[in-house]
Amino acid sequence: MENKAMLVLDSQSALGEGPHWDHKKKILYWVDIIGAKLHIHDPEKNDNHTIQFDQFISAVVPEQPGQLILAMQHGLYRYNIALNRLTKICNPEEDKVSNRFNDGKCDSKGSFWAGTMDLDGKKDCGSLYRFDTDGRITKVLSPVSISNGIAWSPDKKFMYFIDTPTNKVSTYNYEETTGNISYHGTGAEIPVEMGSPDGMTIDAEGMIWVAHWGGAMVSRWDPYSSKLLDTIQIAAKNVTSCTFGGENLDELFITTARDGLNEDDLAAYPQSGGLFKVKTSVKGLPANHYGSQ
């Protein structure tokens, strides 16, 4: 496996995040949270189309053709690409004006899981929610400080979740039929000197890949033994998330941020905020869409 990623797009994003590979369309959705931008990247055409919004956008998943579900500053929204129409679905934290949604993904049943956090990252201000396909939204975990990476094991028995300040990947027992979870243990513990765990994905072997904020890397872990298996160096200090994509799902797309860096950091990591990619020796799993799979 290559241990260094290549720059795909020098986008200089303030807070690049939330990569989602649409295996049906062979395109990558990703966002710049602070820039309030949704990016649609087509590797085949080497094209990156950007849509500007007027509020933070943190996660994106496809729904039906031409329609996306977005996690944003003021709640969950449905977005029609062709009509450029944004429709609010709900905001379970209408009363928490200093909170915003952060990372989010869909499970195998098509439910969208997305968590919240305080705009300044204050402790224990957020929660993790599950937005089911029937329109119901359920608070699943609370309190959470910075709700971040989420993934499910290939056998659908476990859910992995990152609350960044804990420096851990927590493992939960997961019931696919109900969406219920119960705490199981620690899947990985990130040493402080390696930075803080941010976004995450999982490969077909059930190993988790974690982006390191402040650590300039992505790491691969065995969540059953909590053993570190591999690291990939990124030419950006604040690495935010990753997902498998490409024709064979063996390319890891990696988002990064310029936010939180001083002049010395930016001089050392001038490509910070860019979109990166690395070829891997393992394959990922197709990302789930919202609604029927």
Sequence ranges of the binding site for a divalent metal cation: 17, 148, 198
* Binding site per annotation, positions: 17, 100, 102, 120, 148, 198
Cα(293)–Cα(285) distance, integer angstroms: 14
Q: CA geometry: angle at 92 spanning 91 and 95, to 5°? A: 90
How far apart CA 32 and CA 192 sit, in angstroms, is 26
Q: Choosing from 198, 203, 250, 259, which is the catalytic residue?
A: 198
Q: What is the DSSP letter of 149?
A: E
Q: Please say if 198 is a catalytic residue.
A: yes
Q: Which residues contact 282 (CB under 8 A, 6 or more apart)?
A: 1, 203, 204, 205, 207, 250
Residue 32 CA to residue 18 CA, distance in Å, equals 8
**How many residues are present in the chain?**
293
DSSP secondary structure letters along 99-127: EEEEEEEE-TTSPEEEEEEETT--TT-EE
Cα distance between residue 248 and residue 257, in whole Å: 27
Partners of 69 in the beta sheet? 61, 78
Q: Please enumerate, by residue number, every residue annotated as part of a binding site for substrate.
A: 100, 102, 120
d(CA 101, CA 110): 19
Q: How far apart are CA 8 and CA 211, in angstroms?
A: 17
- With beta carbons less than 8 A apart as the criterion, state whether 66 and 81 touch: yes
Please give the biggest Cα pair distance in the chain: 50
- As given in the structure block, the two tokens for residue 127 are 């929660």
How many Cβ atoms sit within 10 Å of the Cβ of residue 64?
12
**What are the residue numbers of the active site?**
198
